[in-house]
A and B are shown apart, each in its own frame.
Chain A
Amino acid sequence: MSAPVVRGAAYILVHTPDMIMRYGTTCALEHEANPESEFLKKLPEYVRSYEEVVKYAPNQAYIGNILPDILNTIEKPWYKNLIQAADAEGKMGEIVSQDEFYAAIKLSDALDLVALEKDFLIEIKAKLAKKSLYTEAELAKLKEGSELSEIESKVRGGAEPLYMGSKLVGCVKAAHDKDKNLTAHIMVENLVTKASGVIALKNLIYRNNIPADSIEYVIECSEEACGDMNQRGVGNFAKAICEVAGATGATGSDTRGFCAAPAHALINAAALVKAGVYKSVAIVAGGATAKLGMNARDHVNKGVPVLEDCLGGFAVLVTENDGISPVLRTDIVGRHTVGTGSSPQAVMESLITKPLDKVGMKITDIDKYSVEMQNPEITEPAGAGNVPLANYKMIAALGAKRGDIDKTSMPSFIKEHGMPGFAPTQGHIPSGVPYVGAAREMIMSGAIERAMIVGKGSLFLGRMTNQFDGVSIIMEKNTGREESTGAVSKEEVKEMVAEAMKDFASFLLNGKQG
């Protein structure tokens, strides 16, 4: 059996300023309850430009242009101290503009539900033609576009509009006239998830020179649900994404588990490779429109820009051992079980210390912990605190309690083994996985030996249980030693020794070898 390795990772952000007001739940609910509110009137003043989003340091960390620890050297607030030389193209992904994304939605539209205005489409086609991510054949699928009057008519008939500023440039219509699971709004949510997932998978393939058809299986792990009135949320985003991204050799399925889903998916992918079921498994997730501007009310009240203006996406490829890439240790997996309980200490013990105890490791044997990596600049104005820091404090406290570290060294442990939060609050996106790419880079450069990826999920929000959830897995340096499938097992050695002893006894008794 081959050790599963992290062969590559991709991270993308999509700046969608004109989707916040209509598709983000905070603004949409306010629209329904209080359409003339001061919050809604003020919000447009606090929306950032694409250039500001590109220059925002946490976003540069997310797409891999700077390591997360570099954020410690940039003065806060980060939204005021922009990286002037920043690039929208990252080592591990890119920051996509809204107009490009609308075209990506159209490319993901299998049933002609999306209409884009023809002049807008001409501009976007020209822009996309300059990018190597899209082929001519893909761009040809965008066709010629629709007349504005036709789009206006569809919107009057219930289609959901797509705006660039105040300009209507497209719409998404319902996929059924009566099915509540195929309404225009749900089709927007699902097409956005699919399209951003496609961009993430394409980036993974393109930036790591992976033959698209070499991927055998894809696990999609976002937070949306596609299906109709007879089978709500049945999927399958994974295969739909593979089809558009050109992964023609793959099938796949969707894994759900709130924010913990990506960590579950990573473990599942590693297990499938380790077991030899597939040689190459990608995990992928697109973003969630519902969470756009989730904390915007607090941001606007406190004079902070609406920092939840981007959709997030990622893709990670797990393959058979290449002798170079970091190994996923399927024998060191932490899990929050039904019987674990909900106290913070019990949760952290189940995810952090129990798996370490199993193999005799100390808390300090993990060089970096990737926990809930939400950008604190988003959560602190909303009163939710610094989530990664709270997690690191708990890990450090556990370490002190176990005697792995001295109580006085807790602050230095947090600094060395933690990192600042840098991921957008897109639910599943910040949970453990944002650091997989940076961990791969740091392990391969020798900066660190080992990292733990921790995913946690708020299952109780689904109202099916009061349970919390979480899983963890360790990534570590590849020793370069390929496991040999022809190796002799312990039992075989015993048999060989027994056979030799039998021959020797026979020789002693008979004076010759038998």
Chain B
Amino acid sequence: MLQDKKVIIIGDRDGIPAPAIEECIKTVGGEVVFAATECFV
């Protein structure tokens, strides 16, 4: 689904942070163009 797609990641400090999502995206061939973790509290 994400093969060769450009991906923007907004992670959540108290959910799944961006670096963890990024690792997953890489395994399915997606290209991460931006990744940041936000804190909503």
- Is there an interface contact between A458 and B15, defined as CB atoms closer than 8 Å? no
- Is there an interface contact between B41 and A342, defined as CB atoms closer than 8 Å? no
B17 cross-chain contacts in A, Cβ below 8 A: 342-344, 468
Q: How far does the Cβ of B22 sit from chain A's closest Cβ, in whole Å?
A: 9
- Is there an interface contact between B20 and A458, defined as CB atoms closer than 8 Å? no
Asked, given contacts A387-B14, A390-B14, A468-B13, whether A344 binds B20 with beta carbons under 8 Å apart, the answer is yes
- Is there an interface contact between B14 and A343, defined as CB atoms closer than 8 Å? no
A466 cross-chain contacts in B, Cβ below 8 A: 18-19, 37
Closest B residue, CB atoms, query A425:
B41
Q: CA A468 – CA B20 in complex, angstroms?
A: 12
Q: CA A281 – CA B16 in complex, angstroms?
A: 36
Asked, given contacts A342-B19, A468-B17, whether A384 binds B37 with beta carbons under 8 Å apart, the answer is no
Q: CA A372 – CA B12 in complex, angstroms?
A: 14
> Which residues of A427-478 have CB atoms within 8 Å of chain B's CB atoms?
427, 430, 456, 458, 460-461, 466, 468
- Is there an interface contact between A458 and B19, defined as CB atoms closer than 8 Å? no
Q: CA A438 – CA B18 in complex, angstroms?
A: 34
B1 at the interface (CB under 8 A from A): no
- Is there an interface contact between A379 and B41, defined as CB atoms closer than 8 Å? yes
B14 cross-chain contacts in A, Cβ below 8 A: 372, 384-385, 387, 390-391
A385 cross-chain contacts in B, Cβ below 8 A: 14-15
> Which residues of A373-392 have CB atoms within 8 Å of chain B's CB atoms?
374, 379, 382-385, 387, 390-391
A458 cross-chain contacts in B, Cβ below 8 A: 13, 37, 39
Q: CA A344 – CA B16 in complex, angstroms?
A: 7
Q: CA A430 – CA B41 in complex, angstroms?
A: 9
B37 cross-chain contacts in A, Cβ below 8 A: 342, 458, 460, 466, 468
Which residue of B19, B20, B36, B40 contacts A379 across the interface (Cβ within 8 Å)? B40
- Is there an interface contact between B39 and A461, defined as CB atoms closer than 8 Å? yes
Q: CA A137 – CA B39 in complex, angstroms?
A: 43
Q: CA A461 – CA B23 in complex, angstroms?
A: 20
B19 cross-chain contacts in A, Cβ below 8 A: 341-342, 466
Asked, given contacts A385-B14, A390-B15, whether A342 binds B40 with beta carbons under 8 Å apart, the answer is no
Closest A residue, CB atoms, query B23:
A343
Q: CA A390 – CA B37 in complex, angstroms?
A: 17
> Which residues of A318-359 have CB atoms within 8 Å of chain B's CB atoms?
341-344
- Is there an interface contact between B41 and A387, defined as CB atoms closer than 8 Å? yes
Most A CB within 10 A of own CB, among B18, B23, B37, B40: B40
Asked, given contacts A372-B14, A390-B15, whether A384 binds B41 with beta carbons under 8 Å apart, the answer is yes
Q: How far does the Cβ of A139 sit from chain B's closest Cβ, in whole Å?
A: 37
B13 cross-chain contacts in A, Cβ below 8 A: 456, 458, 468
A383 cross-chain contacts in B, Cβ below 8 A: 40
Q: CA A185 – CA B15 in complex, angstroms?
A: 33
Most A CB within 10 A of own CB, among B14, B16, B39, B41: B41
Closest A residue, CB atoms, query B20:
A343
Q: CA A71 – CA B15 in complex, angstroms?
A: 24
Q: How far does the Cβ of B3 sit from chain A's closest Cβ, in whole Å?
A: 23
Asked, given contacts A390-B14, A390-B15, A391-B14, whether A374 binds B20 with beta carbons under 8 Å apart, the answer is no
B39 cross-chain contacts in A, Cβ below 8 A: 259, 458, 461
> Which residues of B3-38 have CB atoms within 8 Å of chain A's CB atoms?
12-20, 23, 36-37
Q: CA A341 – CA B19 in complex, angstroms?
A: 8
Q: CA A425 – CA B41 in complex, angstroms?
A: 6
Q: CA A468 – CA B37 in complex, angstroms?
A: 10
Q: CA A427 – CA B14 in complex, angstroms?
A: 13
Closest A residue, CB atoms, query B17:
A342
Q: How far does the Cβ of B9 sit from chain A's closest Cβ, in whole Å?
A: 12
Q: CA A374 – CA B7 in complex, angstroms?
A: 31
Q: How far does the Cβ of A48 sit from chain B's closest Cβ, in whole Å?
A: 20
A372 cross-chain contacts in B, Cβ below 8 A: 14, 41
A341 cross-chain contacts in B, Cβ below 8 A: 19-20
- Is there an interface contact between A382 and B40, defined as CB atoms closer than 8 Å? yes
Q: CA A464 – CA B40 in complex, angstroms?
A: 19
Q: CA A461 – CA B40 in complex, angstroms?
A: 11
User: Residues of B with Cβ closer than 8 Å to A?
Assistant: 12-20, 23, 36-37, 39-41
For the complex with contacts A344-B16, A458-B37, A468-B13, 7 further pairs of A-B residues with Cβ separation under 8 Å are A342-B20, A344-B20, A374-B41, A379-B41, A430-B41, A460-B36, A466-B18
5 A–B pairs (Cβ distance < 8 Å), ordered by A: A259-B39, A384-B12, A385-B14, A425-B41, A466-B19
Return the 4 tightest CB-CB contacts between A and B, nearest first.
A384-B40, A458-B39, A342-B19, A343-B20
